[in-house]
Structure formats: structure tokens, C-alpha cells
Amino acid sequence: MNWLTNMVLSSIGKKLLMAFTGFAFCGFLMGHLAGNLSIYGGPDAFNSYAEHLHALGPLITIAEIGLLLFGLVHILTGLTLFYQNLTARPIRYSVNKSAGGRTLGSATMPYSGLIILAFLIFHLLNFHFVDKSETTIYQIIASAFQNPLYIGIYIFSMIIAAIHVSHGFWSAFQTLGLNHIKYMPTIKLAGIIFSLAIGIGFGFLPVFISITS
Ligand code: HEM
């Protein structure tokens, strides 16, 4: 177990944890977006998707616990790296610098991460931890998006999420040593496509829901 403690305490160990949990979140986001696209099929399609998901029972609970643990590791490790980076001046550890040049995404990772955390708490309180016995999940989201403030908060948060993953996606490949010069342009392009899919895919849903319901 000693090697595990040493690994977690080292800078590269923390970067690996960030990369691994970050990839897991990218997977979750792809799944969540794919499921949410059923909203375009109307209330019945979305409610039926949600029912099928909940029918998975204990599997969903296990996935939720995994997601929560990964979220805690990602946030706590990210905050530790951010703090170490701040206190490591005047000579910063080179691993913490973006080898791909400073971008909006790389310069704002801790801040965009904290905004996503605030969004997640808001999101779960509104859509997850609510009494669904007398209503449907579509009804819950449709009434939320009648409020322009909700639409604004969601669009803003989706732009921030897209900026966060635009750097995180590429950075995770770099940390895992998968940034061979030959594949880098493809990885960067995949990162751009992925972040656009998150920003536009999720961001347009509240607008669509408010127009159609
Ligand atoms: C327009 C955008 C989004 C919509 C309409 C939406 C909708 C929903 C709904 C309806 C649920 C509750 C499902 C249920 O309990 O039956 C949910 C859960 C959740 N959403 Fe979203 N979501 C959106 C974007 C996001 C984003 C961008 C993230 C992550 C940054 C996210 C993370 C989560 C998480 C972690 C859960 C809890 C999953 C679970 O425990 O089953 N969502 N979402």
C-alpha cells in the first residue's frame, strides 16, 4: 500500500488521478448527453428513457456512488495541485505548465472547475433530489426552463464546461503520455469536437425545451 500512498502524494500521481477521473467524467458526459438527446423525441421519449435508466436499480446506485467518489477525488486533487502551484513560486513545476501554450481553458481550469461544481449542486438539487412521485421528469425540467434565469444559468454553465473540457481532454492525454507528435493534431481535434458537443449539445436543450413546452 506504501507505493499507492507515495503515488497519490507525488505531483505526477495527482496528475494521473486527475487524468483518470477526468476521462471517466468525459465518459459520463457522453452518456448523459446521449440520453438527454431523447428530449428531442418529446416528453414520452424522455420519460421512457428515464424509466429505463431507473429500472437498472442497484447498477445505477453503484454508478452514482462511483461518480461521487470520482468527483471528490477530481476536485480535492485539483484543488491540491492548484494550491501547490500557487505556493511553488518563483520557480513553477514544469508539469503544471501547458506544453501546448496558454489557452483560455488552461488558464482558467481551477475557476471553471469550481463553477461546474456550483452548477452540479444546483443541477442535482433541481432535477435529481426532487420528489418525482406526482410528476414526470420531463415535467420537472420543462417547468424549470420556463424561467429565463434557469436557461441563462444552464447556457453559461455549459459554456464553462466546454472551456474546461477543451483543455482537460487534451491535458489528460498528455499526462498519460499518449501525446505522440503524430497523434497530437488528432487528439486536439477530438478535444475541440468533444467540447463543442458538450457546449452546444447540452446548451441548446434548455432553449429547445422552453420553446416546445
Ligand atoms: C441541458 C443540460 C442538462 C439537462 C437537461 C440535464 C438533465 C438531468 C436530469 C433530468 C437528471 C436527473 C435524472 C434522474 O434523476 O432521473 C440529471 C442528473 C444528473 N446530471 Fe444532468 N443534465 C444536463 C447537464 C448536465 C451536465 C453538463 C452535467 C455535468 C457537468 C450533469 C450532471 C448530472 C449528474 C452528475 C446527474 C446525476 C446522475 C445520477 O445520479 O443518476 N448534467 N441531469
pLDDT at 112: 97
Rounded to the nearest angstrom, the distance between the alpha carbon of 183 and the centre of ligand 1 is: 32
Quick one: pLDDT at residue 153? 98
Helix (H) or strand (E) holding 90: none
Res 1: pLDDT: 64
pLDDT value at position 124?
A: 97
Which atom of ligand 1 is found nearest the CA of 54? 16
Given this model, what pLDDT does residue 66 score? 96
120 touches ligand 1 (CB under 6 Å): yes
- Assess whether the C-beta atom of 52 lies below 6 angstroms from ligand 1: no
123 Cβ inside 6 Å of ligand 1:
yes
* Residue-by-residue pLDDT tens, the chain, 213 positions: 677 787 778 888 999 999 999 999 999 999 999 999 999 999 999 999 999 999 999 999 999 999 999 999 999 999 999 998 888 766 554 444 555 568 899 999 999 999 999 999 999 999 999 998 999 999 999 999 999 999 999 999 999 999 999 999 999 999 988 878 888 889 999 999 999 999 999 999 999 999 998
Report whether 15 contacts 95 (CB < 8 A): yes
Ligand 1: atom nearest CA of 39 is 5
Segment (H or E) for 131: none
pLDDT value at position 91?
56
> For residue 140, which atom of ligand 1 is closest to its CA?
10
**Which one of 21, 49, 56, 127 would you pick to mutate in the ligand 1 pocket, going by the greatest count of ligand atoms within 8 A of its CB?**
127
Q: For 101, phi and psi rounded to 5 degrees? A: 90, 155
Alpha helix positions (H), the chain = 2-9, 11-36, 43-54, 58-87, 104-107, 109-127, 137-144, 148-175, 184-212
Confirm if 198 and 161 have CB atoms less than 8 A apart: yes
